[in-house]
Amino acid sequence: MQRYDATTALVVVDLQNDFADPRGSLAVEDAGRIVPFVNDQVRAARAGGALVVYSQDWHPEHTPHFAQDGGIWPVHCVQHSWGAAFHEALTVDGPVIRKGTNGEDGYSAFTMRDPVSGETVATELEGLLRTRAIRAVVACGLATDYCVKATALDAVRLGFLTSVLADGVRAVDLKPGDGDLAIAEMEEAGVTLVHEWDDGRVHHEQEL
């Protein structure tokens, strides 16, 4: 099990119905299977005194992020909809960071980008972590090749010791292999990929 303490934040990325449920508009294959693992990590994080934070896509009905309005994605995670809600089996025990609320591209839990101007704005996440004197970020959730990757890369850029839980992510794989390429990109940037082995212990290169 991942080691957690008061200087660590577990960031659960976008485990929402539209991504994690087979009925969702942008469902990721096998995404629901990670929920029990993520819940175990939430319990371990809480027991170790770590901060647990959840990111949530929270889009208006119309946004340049959506294909119907000129973007690339089907309509998903519309504010107050079933699709925007967290997976019903997910343990939600911590603050929620909503992103894309004003129509931005909200991939990273740390930053959003205006799809028209390209301007980047911060979410509340970095400030929350700084206030809690967080040193290490552990990420899991959906999807490996988009929001998890963007969150992990931002965490590294902001100076956090960053890990991604291999058993707690799934990829969209719009193109076959996108998930593997995302993992390679994250590792190249300094993210540690943490694996659970058969003995139930975590083996990784960096110590949190």
Interval 26-77: pLDDT, tens: 999 999 999 999 999 999 999 999 999 999 999 988 888 788 977 788 889 9
DSSP state, residue 143: -
- What the block records as the tokens of 208 is 């949190």
Bridge partners for 86 per DSSP = 16
Residue 150 has pLDDT above 60, yes or no: yes
Q: Domain tally for the chain? A: 1
- Please answer whether residues 16 and 83 qualify as being in contact, where contact means their C-beta atoms are separated by less than 8 angstroms: yes
Give residue 1's pLDDT band: very low, low, confident or very high (50, 70, 90). low
Task: Identify the pLDDT of residue 63.
Answer: 81
- What the block records as the tokens of 34 is 């990670």
pTM of the model: 0.92
14 φ, ψ to 5°? Answer: 50, 45
Identify the weakest region by mean pLDDT among 49-53, 66-70, 80-84, 134-138: 66-70
- What the block records as the tokens of 191 is 């993210």
Give the separation between CA 155 and CA 13, rounded to whole angstroms: 13
Give the separation between CA 108 and CA 143, rounded to whole angstroms: 11
Nearest C-alpha neighbor of 105 from the set 158, 59, 152? 59
Residue 145 has pLDDT above 80, yes or no: yes
Task: Identify the pLDDT of residue 17.
Answer: 98
208 falls within a domain = no
Task: Identify the pLDDT of residue 41.
Answer: 96
Pairing of the two strands 96-99 and 51-57:
parallel
Average pLDDT for residues 165-183, to the nearest whole number?
96
Nearest C-alpha neighbor of 108 from the set 73, 153, 168, 72? 153
For residue 107, give the CATH number of its domain: 3.40.50.850
Give the separation between CA 11 and CA 59, rounded to whole angstroms: 20
3 falls within a domain = no
133 falls within a domain = yes
Catalytic residues: 14, 99, 147
Domain extent, residue 68, equals 8-203
Residue 205 has pLDDT above 60, yes or no: no
DSSP string over 101-138: TTS-B--SSSEEE-TTT--EEE-SHHHHHHHTT--EEE
39 falls within a domain = yes
Give the separation between CA 48 and CA 4, rounded to whole angstroms: 5
> What angle do helix axes 149-157 and 178-189 make, rounded to 10 degrees?
10
42 falls within a domain = yes
1 falls within a domain = no
Q: What percent of the chain has pLDDT over 70?
A: 93
